[in-house]
Amino acid sequence: MKTTNFDRYLTQQMQDKRFAARFERAGEAWDVALQIAALREQAGLSQKELARLLKTSQQQISRLESTDYEGHSLSNLRRVAEALHARVRVVFEPDEKSVKRVAQRTAPYRVKRASAK
């Protein structure tokens, strides 16, 4: 596959830890927004119709579907999911550095086995 100018630029920018962190957060917001929009469309609802179901404004639904919005609350996501017959699932994944560090730790205490009598 041919490397584009953008690919080279992004590779260079990802060397900056602050940029890489912002890029990762943007990707997470993008995923949430696209999932909400896709579920709404699969349900055959407009933003206005979903807003009516949730007793909110169309602008709020638009905001939730915006790829740069990061103000999603878990309770609000649950309300949206319920209206769209879906469920919310949050997954925490350790970053690669954490996995190595955690794997090298020893247990802070030992559990004593009960002796057989």
Amino acid 109: pLDDT: 52
Which pLDDT tens digits describe the chain residue by residue (117 residues)? 677 887 787 788 888 888 777 777 767 778 899 999 999 999 999 999 999 999 999 999 999 999 888 888 999 999 999 999 999 998 888 877 665 555 555 555 555 555 555
Radius of gyration of the chain (CA): 22
What single-letter DSSP state applies at residue 90?
-
* Nearest alpha carbon to residue 37 among 28, 27, 47: 47
* Nearest alpha carbon to residue 48 among 38, 59, 35: 59
State the helix-helix crossing angle for 17-42 and 5-13, rounded to 10 degrees: 120
In the chain, the domains with their CATH numbers are 5-104 (1.10.260.40)
